[in-house]
Amino acid sequence: MVKSLMDRMPLNDGFTIPGIGYGTWNVSNDEAEEMVFMAIMRGYRLIDTGSMYGNEVGVGRGIHKAINAGISRDDIFVVTKLGKDDMGFEKATDAIRASYDRLGLKYIDLFLIHFPSPDEGVTAATWKALEEAKDSGIVRSIGVSNFMRGNLKELLENSRIKPVVNQLEINPFNLMEEVDDFGYDNNIMTMAYSPLAKGRALEDGKVMKIAEKYNKTPAQIILRWAVQRDLIPIPKTKDADRMKENLDLFDFSLTDEELERITRIKKDSNFVKGHQDHNLGKRIGVDIRNSK
C-alpha cells in the first residue's frame, strides 16, 4: 500500500507505478490536452488512456505541456491500451507503433491489451507483439485489461513475459475478488477503473457515515478503501477541485472494520455502461468470462 502521493508500487518487471491515476475515458481529444495538463499540475503522476478512447494525441500534448512547465517525464507514468480491432501479431505491432506516434513520447510506461480475444491463439499472438515492443524499448511494461482468471491463466502458460497489471472495473459493488486474488498470487498488480461506480457508491449510507467521521467526502472514502486494498484506482473527473480532492487520501486511514463495511456493499452488477462487464463482452464479440 502506498503511504503518500509520491510513493510508488513495485511491478514484477522491476519498474514502479504510482498508487493512484487519472482516467481519461470519455474525455474527447480536444479536451484531453487541458484535462491531462491540469491533472498533472494538481499532483497526478499516472495518466490512463487507450486507443479506443480516441484521445491519445490530446493526452500526449497535455503531458508535453506539463513537461514544459517543469514536470520530469520520468515522474509521469503513461498507460495506453490496444483496441479490440487490433488483435493479432501484425495488427498489434502496427497499433502499438501508432499509439506511440500519437502520444509523441520517447516511451510508453505501460501498454495493455484492452480486452482478451475469444480465440486464445489470437490473444497469445497479440501478447507476443507486446513482448517485442517491450524488448524494443518503446514500451517499458506490458499488461492486460478486463482479463478474467481463465484468461490470465492461459496467458501465463503461453507467454515469455508475465503481465505486470490487470486493469478491471472494481468498486464496492463489483469486487472481482477471484480475479484480483489470482493476480495477487501471481504478482500481477490490479488497477481499478470506475472505482466510484459512476457515483453510485457515493450515495451509500455506510460510506456517507464514514465520510462524516473523518471529515472527508464519500469519494475520498471509496478511493482510500481501494488504496488500502492495494488497488490502483483511476478515477476520472473534469472538475479541477475534484481532481485535487481525489488525491487527498493520505492523512487518514480506515479501520479494518470500516474496510469490511465498505466491502459488504457489494452488489452483483457492474456500473460502466458500454465499457467492461460481461454484457459488454457480448456486445463487442469478446468473451471476457473465460474461466478455466
| Calpha distance 239→290 (Å, rounded) | 38
Q: Is 278 annotated as a binding residue?
A: no
Mean pLDDT taken over the chain: 92
Condensed to tens digits (0 to 9), the pLDDT of residues 225-256 reads 999 999 999 999 999 999 999 999 999 999 99
Superfamily of domain 8-283: NADP-dependent oxidoreductase domain (3.20.20.100)
CB burial class (10 A; 0-12, 13-18, 19+) of residue 183?
buried
Give kind and range of the element (H or E) at residue 127: helix 120-136
What does the pLDDT read at residue 203? 87
Angle at 50 between CA 124 and CA 89, to 5 degrees: 25
Answering whether pTM is above 0.85, one says yes
- Please report, for the chain, the start and end positions of each structural domain, with discontinuous segments joined by +: 8-283
Cα dihedral 15, 79, 41, 207 in deg (nearest 10) = -100
pLDDT tens, position by position, 204-227: 899 999 999 999 999 999 999 999
Low-confidence ranges of the chain (pLDDT < 50): 268-271, 273-292
- Residue 92, classed as helix, strand or coil, is helix
Dihedral sign for Cα atoms in the order 255, 272, 39, 47: positive
| Cα–Cα distance list, 56 to 123, 138, 185, 262 (Å) | 23, 16, 33, 34
| Residue 258 to residue 206: CA distance in whole angstroms | 9
Q: Which residues are annotated as catalytic?
A: 53
Q: What is the pLDDT of residue 199?
A: 85
Dump pLDDT digits (tens) for 108-136: 999 999 999 999 999 999 999 999 999 99
Side-chain-facing half-sphere of 20: CA atoms under 13 Å? 31
